[in-house]
Amino acid sequence: MSEFAHATRNRPLVVAANRLPVSRSGDGGWEPSPGGLVRALWPIVQETGGTWVGWTGEIDGPSDMIRLEGIDLHPIPISARERERYYEGFSNDTLWPLYHDAIRDSGYQIDDWTSYVDVNQRFAVRIANIAPPDAVVWLHDYHLQLVPALVREQRSDLRIGWFNHIPWPPVELFQRLPWRSEIIAGLLGSDLLGFQRERAAENFITAAQQLVGATEIDHGVLEHNGRRTRVGRFPISIDVEEFAMAASGRASRQRAAQFRVRLGDPEVILLGVDRLDYTKGIGSRLRAFGHLLDQGRLDPERHVLVQVATPTRERVEMYQEERREIEQIVGEINGRHARLGFPVIHYLYQTLSLDDLIPLYRAGDVMLVTPFRDGMNLVAKEYVAAHVDGDGVLVLSEFTGAADELEGAILVNPHDERALQDAIVQAVEMHRHERRARMEKMRAVVSAANVSEWARSFLGALCEP
Ligand code: F6P
């Protein structure tokens, strides 16, 4: 029996997430698409002979099952109007900013909510129709918060778990949501609710008590309408071995060295790698770097910053604004501090392959991970896993899940520009001995918890008798 089949006690597994882990291949067929969650879950679904339910990303795409590399994929068709209302609207204009400390104002449109309900119902019907008897259903993320109760109504034989990849806000923020009770009731259809941080789990418990009258009958166990739901912390990780192996290879080492040469062989390469999202604090980080150059605390001949900003949700206005702002800041700083042929910020608005990303991590002497709020932030863990040389400094926002685990990082409040500047200088000037000691601590933490551990522990808890 495989380790995952053991965790699920041999029950078949159905995974559901907003996106199916595939994209179109050149010949019009399908191929597995890259991405952390996909890399984490694909082998688990494969080993358990499981299925995956989700959206292909296409408008009015197929609904017939796709069989790919031993996995049955069940596509949920989404119309253009639903992309606008369910995905861009309720999921990413209402929930996303609200769950990230209301860092931008959320829209509360009734039509977006209605579409969210419709699409959640479509997921629930499909899952109820295809799940084998006694299956384990593992739902992912904020797009599918009504699905647990909707599936439960149709199939009482299933074990249902939901994991939130993003933060869960304090009740004072969550209660702004006009449909707050419906969301909590939807989630309480689960047997197990998983969060990245202890605080997020506590926030959910408080919201369930205050907003729908659930009772905490034991630590982390809620009772509501005669049903029990466990609530716990399951911090996600990465495929540590994959990163470590790719980073240790000769090709990766050579490529990292080439990158350094191409950047003008600076003394220190600072690095930022983020989806271009307003929660990531990219603008503040760039401004802090620019001010350090203005003040002469950093030197454009010795210090360069590489900022990779991966395109994401490009049709959403707030993302377009964020991109304009970041690109303006990059332009201003380079305008002031670049020399001919040597920009001081190398900005890439691109999705890099792992073949480029891993050597870039290796080349990065200082990694800047400074979101205003982030569920976990896997880039921080990827950087540490890729630094097989035992060197490198991580500057990490206190407002990430990763900050709970990575004690060796320089922790910083990204809202405090002076603190951000000082953290960057501290990282750049850190003595080799201290760098290595801190990195050793972080590498021990990251390598002790592979993503397969995370999946096993969530599924094991979900399937406990
Ligand atoms: O971290 C939350 C999340 O929704 C992930 O599940 C996803 O990979 C990422 O953000 C990108 O989001 P989207 O699917 O909207 O491109």
pLDDT of residue 36: 65
Q: Give the tens place of pLDDT for each residue, 253-301.
A: 999 999 999 999 999 999 999 999 999 999 999 999 999 999 999 999 9
Place of tokens 């700083």: 333
- Centre of ligand 1 from the C-alpha of residue 336, in Å: 35
Residues in Cβ contact with 178 at an 8 Å cutoff, skipping those fewer than 6 apart? 108, 113
Token pair belonging to 386: 């890729």
Is residue 432 classed exposed, middle or buried when 0-12, 13-18 and 19+ CB atoms within 10 A define those classes? exposed
- The answer, yes or no, to whether any atom of ligand 1 lies below 6 A from the CB of 313, is yes
Sheet holding 345-348, edge to edge: 345-348, 303-310, 268-275, 366-369, 393-397, 410-412
- What is the number of the ligand 1 atom nearest to the C-alpha of 19? 14
Instruction: Pick the atom of ligand 1 nearest to 18's CA.
Output: 14
Q: 339, exposed or middle or buried, with CB in 10 Å at 0-12, 13-18, 19+?
A: exposed
**Per-residue pLDDT at 347 exceeds 70:** yes
Q: Is the pLDDT of residue 236 over 90?
A: yes
152 Cβ below 6 A of ligand 1 = no
Least confident of 40-54, 148-162, 250-264, 276-290: 40-54
Residues present in the chain in total: 465
Which contacts (CB < 8 Å, 24+ apart) does range 27-30 have? 30/56, 30/66, 30/68, 30/73
Could you tell me the CA-to-CA distances from 176 to 32, 100, 431, 459 in Å, in that order? Answer: 38, 13, 47, 32
Q: Is 280 in the pocket of ligand 1 (CB under 6 A)?
A: no
Burial of 213 (0-12, 13-18, 19+ CB in 10 A): exposed
Residue 211, pLDDT > 70, answer yes
Would you state the pLDDT for residue 48? 82
In this predicted model, what pLDDT tens digit does every residue of 361-377 receive, in sequence order? Answer: 999 999 999 999 999 99
Q: How confident is the model at residue 242 (pLDDT cuts 50, 70, 90)?
A: confident
Q: What is the pLDDT of residue 44?
A: 83
The model's pLDDT over 90-136, given as tens digits with 9 standing for 90+, comes to 999 999 999 999 999 999 999 999 999 999 999 999 999 999 999 99
Q: Which of 84, 141, 236 gets mutated to test ligand 1 (max ligand atoms within 8 A of its CB)?
A: 141
Q: What is the mean pLDDT of residues 298-325?
A: 97
Which atom number of ligand 1 is nearest to the Cα of residue 312? 16
Q: What's the chain's average pLDDT?
A: 95
Task: Take atom 4 of ligand 1 and give the residue whose Cα is closest.
Answer: 141
Residue 248 burial class via C-beta count within 10 angstroms: exposed 0-12, middle 13-18, buried 19 and up: middle
Integer Cα distance of 428 and 435 in angstroms: 10
Between 34-48, 267-281, 328-342, 373-387, the lowest mean confidence (pLDDT) is in 34-48
Does the pLDDT of residue 210 top 90, yes or no? yes
- Which contacts of 247-255 are long-range, i.e. CB under 8 A and separated by 24 or more positions? 247/358, 247/359, 247/361, 247/362, 247/385, 247/386, 247/387, 247/388, 248/388, 252/358, 252/359, 252/362, 253/359, 253/362, 255/355, 255/356, 255/359
pTM for the full predicted model: 0.96
pLDDT of res. 1: 63
Give the whole-angstrom CA distance, residue 88 versus residue 84: 5
**Residue 366 C-alpha to ligand 1 middle, in angstroms?**
26
pLDDT of residue 306 exceeding 80, the answer is yes
DSSP state letter for 339: B
Ligand 1 mutation pick, 15, 19, 376, max ligand atoms within 8 A of CB:
19
59-87 pLDDT, tens digit per residue, is 999 999 999 988 999 999 999 999 999 99
pLDDT of residue 45: 87
